[in-house]
Amino acid sequence: MVCRRLNVKPPNAVYVGDNLEKDFIGANKLGMLTAHIDRKDAIHKDKVPALPEAEPTMRINCLTDILELVGRKKEYYNF
């Protein structure tokens, strides 16, 4: 819904989440770059991907790491 409202195609968007159990399934299906924010004090720090499609494209430690992703294409990530 956000992509439609912003007129952005999903492959040109980044979805950031913190729950490996479920956050990335829908975004992965849409072809988005998905980033798991891995914080030491996270509520969901002990969660693991429930399904292969729940695995994020990459992991980051803080939101400012997203700045490095701007302008890059998903194919360049091999996580």
In a domain, 58, yes or no: yes
Domain count along the chain: 1
Q: Which domain holds residue 32?
A: 2-64
- Residue 13 gets the label, from left (phi > 0), alpha (psi -120 to 50) or beta, of beta
User: What CATH number is associated with residue 52?
Assistant: 3.40.50.1000
In a domain, 30, yes or no: yes
Q: What pLDDT is recorded for position 65? A: 83
Inter-residue contact 27 to 15 (CB < 8 Å) = yes
- 3-state SS, residue 78: coil
Q: Which residues contact 8 (CB under 8 A, 6 or more apart)?
A: 2
In a domain, 69, yes or no: no
Q: What pLDDT is recorded for position 73? A: 52
The upper half-sphere exposure of residue 23, i.e. CA atoms within 13 Å in the direction of its Cβ, equals: 20
In a domain, 70, yes or no: no
Q: What pLDDT is recorded for position 78? A: 45
pTM as predicted: 0.75
In a domain, 22, yes or no: yes
In a domain, 78, yes or no: no
Q: Residue 48 corresponds to which tokens in the numbers above?
A: 């693991």
In a domain, 44, yes or no: yes
- Residue pLDDT tens, the chain, 79 long: 899 999 999 998 889 999 998 999 999 999 999 999 887 777 777 777 778 898 999 888 888 887 776 655 545 544 3
